[in-house]
Structure 1
Amino acid sequence: MLALLGFATIVVFLFLIITKRLSVITALVIVPIIFGLLAGFNPKELGEMMLAGIKQVAPTGILLMFAVLYFATMLDAGLFDPVIAFIIRSVKGDPLKVILGTAILTMIVHLDGDGTATFMIVLSAFLPIYKQLKINRLILSGIVALSVGPLHLVPWSGTSARAISTLKSDAVHLFNPNIPAIAGGIVWVLFVAYIFGKRERKRLGILDFQYNHQENLSEAQRELRRPKLIWVNAIMTLALIVTLMKGWIPAPALFVIASMIALLVNYFKLADQQKVLKSHGTNIFMVSSMIFAAGIFSGILTGSKMIEAMATTLVSFIPENHASWLPTLTALTSMPASMLFTPDAYYFGVVPILSQTATQFGIDPLEIGRAALLGQMTVGFPLSPLTASTFLLIGLSEVDLGEHQKFVFKWAWGTTIVMTIVALLTGSLHI
């Protein structure tokens, strides 16, 4: 009975958010409460389950809030402006260099894990260049989409935050083992950019052009730039990343401290701090509040034993001699799954069942999380019609969604396949 109610909870949740009958945050709260009541639990019992779930995801919610704030502050302060200027100066009208430069800049900017911000920064810098040189704009949207993929596995991205909260883990155990796979994905994307670049250089040749990135900044953006603090910000960011990867300070506490220092160093005046907070406040609230709502969802499904019952049912259908392939199959199907599932539906609905099933076969459940992150709404999100940022990408690139998906799908899946192979070779995943 619990298994049936659990599957019903997942199906109704998926239906409501895919058909947009309810917002994700509303469905995460209302649906499990209703099915929890149907399962015979009283409001007090459900309340205790919800509170336990919220406590479990609280560190992840705090991490996400302040990580977004930190990198938003760095972007506003102009940390990446010298890199943008250098890349634009270096391309010199060569389509090959332009496309490789697009990939490199996208990866650097996407260290903040925010697809929307990355698309706006990179496309505003490079679209005029692509137009002037007459480079195929599908390559612009495609290479940007590919380049954010491996970097979207950073633990402060919304997708990774979902996986961390669902599996009740942390960045050290979920992100660090995937670092070699991420490196493999980066190499693959640069290889694809080289292929695209060679084709366009052969088609167009090398042309002369002049372009100034600073002229494209608004007055408000110029006011927040802090060019004199570039090296201070660079050192702070490098120290932050090293500390995060070494696990010297718990990630939530680390980002709270780092974001406050970044704000104080770059914007000593209260008015400037308020500008930064207000400009990014909506995005921070929407993502972090969803994580706490997800805590209620996972708290009820876990506390009611629904997930355990669903996993037991699935185990009965999986031949034991094939069970070891579960993480690998999860990885290989993760990128196409982005076309069918929103990150909320997949990480809060599918991953808990897969991870619990893996546990019953003696497989580390964190392998399911690592496998899922190799494609589902990481590599896959810039192609998915289920994410708003995809439409921002194609809109700013001035291309059609269908043409964009057709152009980049096989290359994106290639990224996941390459990362899966590296993950298997380096022990992040096992067969």
Structure 2
Amino acid sequence: MTLLATVGFIMVAVFMILIMTKRLHPVTALILVPFVVALGFGWGPQSGKWIVAGIKQVVPTSVMLCFAILYFGILIDVGFFDPLVNRIVKFVKGDPAKLCVGTAILAAIVALDGDGATTYMVTCTALYPLHKRMQIKPMILPALCLMQVSIMNILPWGGPSGRVLIITETSVSQLFGALGPSMVVGLVWVCLVAYYWGLQERKRLGIMNVEGVDFSAHAGEDRKDRPVQSQYVQWLNLGLTLGLIVMLLKEVIPLSAMFMIAAALALIINYPKVKDQSRIMSEIAPDCLNIVILTFAAGAFVGIMQGSKMIDSMAKAMVLAIPESLGSHLGFISSFLSIPGTYFLTNDAYYYGVLPIFLQAAKVYSITPVAMGIAALIGQGVHLLSPLVASTYLLVGLTKVDYGDFQKFTLIPCLSISIVMLIVAMIFGHITF
């Protein structure tokens, strides 16, 4: 392993240790850790350009997250999600176990569009007040959302799968005909984890008497200054939201532009008066600012890793880590390597840099491209916890949990998803030891 690759892996590990032990805030760690490394290698002058290049990459994502938070913040303020929350309250009947399982199911359904940010915003904005009022552990809601998205993100229209289909030159029916059972069992596994957490919460909290309890987003607050929208306006909100989802699936226009337009329309529909528009924007502004700062900091982190070619060196090191004597077990081994691979590297770096080399080696041992494609996607169970994934910062922002604490709470459950999916793939004979 080269010095640059070694430093790259150590750098990401140091970042995680610093935020988990609360020695540094994620923003300062994302910026200063790679910058110190750059200075150590004598890249001081170039590092500024790399940081700017990395920030430019995340600008569309930052804009999308900012205006998406504004859009869903408006819907929360006018009580758009209250009917959904009331239905869920009737279903769970104050039982934490039912709420946790219901959260997992709702997250999986919303995640059908393959977009993590949208799933987080819809699921968390709808269920956060309910989880908070029932005093469920704050980590459970974001953990269940992220775990379900990590599986649903593998759907054919998800980003990782698109890359794998291109590199392996396999068809959707070939890859997902084989991967389907692993995904289904993975989804069921998350629901079982949700039930286990729910039983723990039921033991801790008991079953709550929900009669007469207000679970709306503004329960306990004075709503005299908040608009109570007519059914007509709420139907407009529903139409706007459904239209947004359809456009999201069809990718008619870029996501950032889509949410900018949607947020502007939501402001006009729900707040005809300019003073009310100013009020809601000032209330939501802190959440928007926190997420934008985090994504820009993540852009600086990625920018230095890419500009210094550190990611390329790390990718090559992963390929060289497999001795030739173990080549016949390449499918099984690459399944495990995809876990740290998609965590330490970006999806592009792993799927375009590492996977093609694995594929060439697999031909020598008669391992099929489908098997290698499945192996490459196994690591997605942990990928979303990577500090290089911007949507995770949105998730912790929406649920108001600490990023480092969230990593510690969710890492093992997410790792279990990859292991469960690998076991199922081996049972069905798609990956052999």
Alignment of 1:147-296 (within 5 A): 147-153=144-150, 173-174=159-160, 186-190=187-191, 210-213=211-214, 216-220=219-223, 223-226=226-229, 228=231, 229-296=233-300
Counterparts of 2:292 and 2:432, CA distance in 1:
32
Is it true that 1:27 corresponds to 2:24 in the alignment? no
Is it true that 1:314 corresponds to 2:325 in the alignment? no
Between stretches 180-189 and 61-70, larger displacement belongs to 180-189
Aligned equivalent of 2:129: 121
Q: Give the direction of change, closer, same or farther, for the CA distance of 1:6–1:31 in structure 2 (3 Å limit).
A: farther
Q: Give the direction of change, closer, same or farther, for the CA distance of 1:108–1:123 in structure 2 (3 Å limit).
A: farther
The Cα of 1:82 is off from its aligned counterpart by 0.5
The Cα of 1:46 is off from its aligned counterpart by 3.5
Aligned equivalent of 1:329: 336
Counterparts of 1:267 and 1:245, CA distance in 2:
28
Between stretches 246-255 and 108-117, larger displacement belongs to 108-117
| Partner amino acid, structure 2, of 1:73 | I
1:296-343 Cα offsets, whole Å, 9 max, x none, are 332232222232233323322223624444663256679xxxxxxxxx
The Cα of 1:81 is off from its aligned counterpart by 0.5
The Cα of 1:76 is off from its aligned counterpart by 2.1
- Indicate if the aligned counterparts of 2:335 and 2:376 stay in contact, CA closer than 8 A: no
| 3-state SS of paired residue (2:321) | coil
Q: CA RMSD in A?
A: 5.4
- Indicate if the aligned counterparts of 1:25 and 1:290 stay in contact, CA closer than 8 A: yes
Is it true that 1:53 corresponds to 2:54 in the alignment? yes
Counterparts of 2:306 and 2:51, CA distance in 1:
10
Counterparts of 1:259 and 1:182, CA distance in 2:
34
Between stretches 365-374 and 30-39, larger displacement belongs to 365-374
- Indicate if the aligned counterparts of 1:331 and 1:374 stay in contact, CA closer than 8 A: no
Counterparts of 1:42 and 1:200, CA distance in 2:
50
Q: Give the direction of change, closer, same or farther, for the CA distance of 1:21–1:392 in structure 2 (3 Å limit).
A: closer
Q: Which runs of 5+ in 2 are unaligned?
A: 111-116, 165-175, 361-368
Counterparts of 1:411 and 1:29, CA distance in 2:
28
Identity among equivalent positions (%) equals 30
Counterparts of 1:390 and 1:273, CA distance in 2:
21
Q: Give the direction of change, closer, same or farther, for the CA distance of 1:69–1:391 in structure 2 (3 Å limit).
A: closer
| Partner amino acid, structure 2, of 1:18 | I
Aligned equivalent of 2:171: none
- Indicate if the aligned counterparts of 1:307 and 1:352 stay in contact, CA closer than 8 A: no
Number of residue-to-residue matches in the alignment: 376
The Cα of 1:207 is off from its aligned counterpart by 10
Q: Which runs of 5+ in 1 are unaligned?
A: 128-136, 161-170, 335-345, 395-400
Aligned equivalent of 1:77: 78
- Indicate if the aligned counterparts of 1:33 and 1:300 stay in contact, CA closer than 8 A: yes
- Indicate if the aligned counterparts of 2:103 and 2:141 stay in contact, CA closer than 8 A: yes
- Indicate if the aligned counterparts of 1:49 and 1:299 stay in contact, CA closer than 8 A: yes
The Cα of 1:243 is off from its aligned counterpart by 1.5
The Cα of 1:4 is off from its aligned counterpart by 1.6
The Cα of 1:208 is off from its aligned counterpart by 8.0
The Cα of 1:230 is off from its aligned counterpart by 2.4
Q: Give the direction of change, closer, same or farther, for the CA distance of 1:184–1:200 in structure 2 (3 Å limit).
A: same
| Partner amino acid, structure 2, of 1:319 | P
The Cα of 1:78 is off from its aligned counterpart by 1.7
The Cα of 1:392 is off from its aligned counterpart by 6.4
TM-score, normalization: structure 1? 0.64
- Indicate if the aligned counterparts of 1:66 and 1:255 stay in contact, CA closer than 8 A: yes
Counterparts of 1:221 and 1:10, CA distance in 2:
53
Counterparts of 1:412 and 1:254, CA distance in 2:
31
